[in-house]
A and B are shown apart, each in its own frame.
Chain A
């Protein structure tokens, strides 16, 4: 899961980056409306955590711009003003959820998972495909009821595939979801993760479509 954090307070932004990373997300941080627009225009994110009071304008403007472009990326608003009117303005502006500062890291993570899940059209929180179960909250993976130890990146690859099991995910798409801007990506990183993942959850669980990408193998 790749998340864009738009927050101008450095300590809070740093905390969001560290905290959400602990939950298995890849986090990119920007501090202004302008940078947020640029990031949203060039990259795809699973969700956006958006502060309302930014130095060069209101987060609401970023949100409206996003929705005007028919971009349905889920947005969780963060704000220190939790007057009802502000909340209504935020939700009406196209936000999927709303959190008042200060908030709980676990709650924020859960809400982000929830809006991502809703955006992908799933009802249940746990991802399931065949005998494989993935809990996005705890990042725990079980195969036929047996717990499997997987790395953070491997979970992210698996989650990306399991969110929409029948949709092909290209290598570039997976890379984008796995790595933030500052991270160096090895050219064969996705292949390496795929190899390790197959070794842990079963050789045939993931299907490779040459030249196009990966998807979960269709159930018999």
Chain B
């Protein structure tokens, strides 16, 4: 069922109807029992009364014409009375009472079909007077009495049902108005409008929805802001090297001194390398951003991965890479691609801040992760918490840094459920970066 209103309406109407029907059934059964009891009592009472009358008019001898007994109550001659002698002759009967004997039961209540109608009869035997007094009424009549009673209840109810239906329908419409208002507000919004819905005005039932929507708005807004920032930074970071490229190309073309032209061409090559790396990093970062779910983790041979990754990278002549033998065969549960990204960016970051020295890869002393140490200038302590922020470039930034490397390393580590920790070396200037679980 699509419409909440129709759904609620149907449920309410069905429930109301069901409750009414059960009530009617209950009342029917209850009334019927009650009526039967009352009528039975009346039969008994009437029989006793007639019995006592028979005693008083004792002169009515057996065999005589049935005497006139005062008509029993005026309710449509409901009751019929017969008086039989114990030897089986009818002594008297009330007017309207059937000719045939009402019952063969010697005493008490009994039921019998007489002239096509079922009678309920109470028989009172008076051995002293030699008579049996039988008072009975028709079951059909009793049934009608109960039915009339019920009908008296149901008829107004049937009239009220449509009225109730309309009332429920209108109330539902009114009750659902806050939802409609919220829908209208939302529909009328601009695509950029991420302001919160006024949850204070919404009823308690709608508030969770409003809160959830507001939460979603916040998330979407944050994502969009992030995207805008990244795009703006990416534009900046791309345009600067492009400006350098263009300028150097123009210098190379305009220079009359071949030495100047040669220098410019060399700078173009450097700029192309740098821009290539920047584009690769931007794409890596975008890919990490886009891949939302945790990737499948696998046992990665970190030693082999580091060796392979570092091998394929160019290193300045003064910088050596050293891979600790302990790293060979060291295994870590990680996303292989993510770990490769982290390793590559950490290595690049280490190398580009050094003129000479050693970048050393190894296992953390407690065996809980891997660690890389460089011999660069280190990072000022106050900048350490920010260096993994995208496009953050500290005071010690290198000429070729993009501000993305450490951010990518951090994102890639996190994707594997690992964390990246950076700190300044205590033994000498330089950075110690470790990738470890937890």
Contacts and interface: CB of A to CB of B under 8 A. Distances in A.
Size category, B interface: 20 to 34
B235 to A, nearest CB: 6
B397 interface: yes
A81 interface: yes
Contact of A15 (B236, B237, B239, B267): B267
Interface string A8-28: 111110111011001000000
Contacts of A22: 251, 254-255, 260
Given A18-B264, A80-B236, A101-B240, A11 B254 contact: no
Contact of B248 (A11, A80, A103): A11
Contacts of B255: 18, 22
Nearest to B260: A18
Contacts, number: 88
B283 interface: no
A55 B274 CA distance: 18
A40 to B, nearest CB: 20
Nearest to B264: A18
A131 B232 CA distance: 52
A202 B246 CA distance: 41
A81 B233 CA distance: 9
A102 B246 contact: yes
A89 to B, nearest CB: 15
B241 A12 contact: yes
A130 to B, nearest CB: 30
B243 interface: yes
Interface in A47-72: 53, 55-56
Contacts of A78: 243
B245 A102 contact: yes
Contacts of A11: 241, 244-245, 248, 267, 270-271, 274, 399
A104 interface: yes
B397 to A, nearest CB: 5
Contacts of B274: 11
A15 B242 contact: no
Nearest to A34: B395
A105 B241 contact: no
B251 A19 contact: yes
A55 B394 contact: yes
B239 A102 contact: yes
B277 to A, nearest CB: 13
A14 B248 contact: yes
A175 B274 CA distance: 37
Contacts of B276: none
A101 to B, nearest CB: 4
B12 interface: no
A135 interface: no
Given A22-B255, A105-B254, A16 B235 contact: no
Given A55-B393, A80-B240, A101-B239, 16 more contacts: A9-B399, A11-B248, A11-B274, A15-B248, A18-B248, A18-B251, A19-B247, A19-B251, A22-B255, A80-B237, A81-B236, A100-B239, A101-B243, A102-B246, A103-B243, A104-B250
Closest 3 CB pairs of A and B: A15-B247, A102-B243, A12-B244
Interface of A: 8-12, 14-16, 18-19, 22, 53, 55-56, 78-81, 100-106
Interface of B: 232, 235-248, 250-251, 254-255, 260, 263-264, 267, 270-271, 274, 393-395, 397, 399
20 contacts: A8-B397, A11-B270, A11-B274, A12-B241, A12-B247, A14-B244, A15-B244, A15-B248, A18-B264, A22-B251, A22-B254, A55-B394, A81-B232, A81-B236, A101-B243, A102-B242, A103-B243, A104-B246, A104-B250, A106-B250
